[in-house]
């Protein structure tokens, strides 16, 4: 990854999240109004993705930042929600690079509906999709090194197919 790409990812997934969240939290703590804020993390925050290490790290930061900050809130009418989807079928996941992952990609419409549900029901951490939720529970029983190794194999194969 080029230094400029690394900086862009940090700016998007860390710096901007902290700045914007701080403004929202300050507003709701000061006014004591009802509301909620949801941030999009990823299942990559729970199970690191080889070949996307920086992305996984920033998503883990987002989850940990929101989870910790939610306990610092004094306004009980304001909530923070972490939305942690797996892969979503978008223009970014089209093409042969993602062929081995296509069966795991969630349709955009479902991801959007579940995101709205998570925010309106004030979920703490929310993983959309039944398969993703069950998978995340089952993966807790397997050694993380094994899971990350399996993900590495899948991503390595995808990278080879795309010529990287």
| Residue corresponding to tokens 């901007």 | 16
Count of other CB atoms within 10 angstroms of residue 7: 12
Q: How far apart are CA 76 and CA 55, in angstroms?
A: 32
Signed CA dihedral, 71, 72, 76, 78: sign only = negative
- Both tokens of 31, joined, read 């006014």
Q: How far apart are CA 49 and CA 148, in angstroms?
A: 7
Please give the C-alpha separations between residue 101 and each of 66, 79, 137, in angstroms, as whole numbers. Answer: 28, 33, 20
* Catalytic (active site) residue 55: yes
- Both tokens of 115, joined, read 């995101």
Catalytic pick among 51, 55, 83, 124:
55
List residues with catalytic annotation. Answer: 55
């Amino acid at each position: 990854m080029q230094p400029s790409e690394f900086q862009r990812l940090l700016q998007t997934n860390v710096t901007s999240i902290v700045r914007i969240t701080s403004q929202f939290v300050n507003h709701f703590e000061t006014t004591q109004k009802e509301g909620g804020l949801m941030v999009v993390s990823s299942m990559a925050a729970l199970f690191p993705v080889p070949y996307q290490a920086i992305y996984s790290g920033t998503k883990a930061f987002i989850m940990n930042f929101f989870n910790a900050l939610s306990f610092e809130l004094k306004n009980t009418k304001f909530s923070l929600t972490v939305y942690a989807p797996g892969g979503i079928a978008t223009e970014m996941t089209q093409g042969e690079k993602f062929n081995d992952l296509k069966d795991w990609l969630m349709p955009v419409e479902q991801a959007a509906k579940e995101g709205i549900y998570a925010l309106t029901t004030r979920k703490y951490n929310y993983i959309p999709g039944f398969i993703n939720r069950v998978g995340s529970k089952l993966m807790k029983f397997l050694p993380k090194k094994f899971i990350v190794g399996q993900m590495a194999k899948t991503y390595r194969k995808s990278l080879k197919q795309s010529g990287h």
